[in-house]
Structure 1
């Protein structure tokens, strides 16, 4: 027999039946059919088992087979460890993404006005950060007004209209430094409407460092603020004089307020002392007249024993 035929199942030979119980031709034929069906079913089961064991999943691994527990009955759920502390269960399928870094449930309200304002601030900051094109011809590119370098700060150019390179900007902070709106109002005595006018006073918008939901921080170029302040007040000396006048007036108002508060405190103190003395002042409580033998009656205070003579008419 060849090697290829060694693995194929072979029908075993029929056992010799006893002479006392011979099989008929119909019985032998049915017996052979049943044995062939059994062999075909066994071969099919072996092929299915081999196919299931050789199949791979998405990770190119054979699936894990689970074996049923021989013990019967309903399994009890495992108890949660109390040492893990409290926890909250969230239904992730019912949550929506508001693109704010948080997961908000459907039932909770979202502040649409706050989200809209934040998007507007982001849009304002993004518009001023767009980079302009660079030309191959050096003569077409703008140059620094201090050193004639073409490596200018594009933010200063677009926001303030100032042509200055990064080196000159860092070397001359007294001219190209940035001032906040508070510094402009306190040091240069500029008003809020003047600072909010972008055509009059160009300003750079940045996110508020204290809180992202606050209004954008406004930064102004120092030499532009000084030029506008000199033009408004006439000269640096006039600005200093106005600053000293306002400082003195503010100090005078502060002292006057302090004196008024002190005067009110003294008044309340004096009234309190007078009222206390008034309350503690003794008032005589005289009893009925007591007639004496000489025709003069007396009244005696029951509290202090003070007596007065009353002449009877």
Structure 2
């Protein structure tokens, strides 16, 4: 125990009883006052309590001096606390807004657009409502504009699309919807012009018609051959075996005929 602590204890013990009671009473008041200031409303913002090296207690923005005898003296400083002064922010440099896209229809710049965000199409929302920008599925686009899969994804720049659930059946895969305006532009890049696209479309239509006609004729030939084979009596020719000569071709009926060299029997048939 140091000499100062021994002298302070002796001085406090030598005090009369009424002074000791007063000191204890003042200590209790100081404790009660301190607790009342520390107690806050449960919804209030909590205050920060800190103690520095000079035994100065700081509660919120108010400072108290601990006297060591149970008293907290509020410090009244005429000079403002520099630590609590708000720091003034320096003015920032002006922000230069980048060049906004310009609508190809109304020629006005715009900030946001649904077509620009989803398809990179420079068209504002107002012009989108006024004009009819249709969406088309990939299957319909390939059929209508005679495009292939590589024209959508491999050719630069790839065409953007949005995915939607199939309205015909929810169990089917999602549909890829493209902007028809961009699909039409891509078709002109592939075929060169609208006239060449129409010529290719007509050529493919004529090819389909010829293919259907050939398929029909082939089916009719198969039907006639099956009918002739069903009417042929296989037991009647068991006695005589025909020896056929060279065959002859009939261009009008598209048939072949060959005659037996030993009897008047003639056989007419078609070749597939």
The two structures have a TM-score, normalised by structure 1, of 0.40
- Select the structure that is richer in strand: 2
The two structures have a TM-score, normalised by structure 2, of 0.45
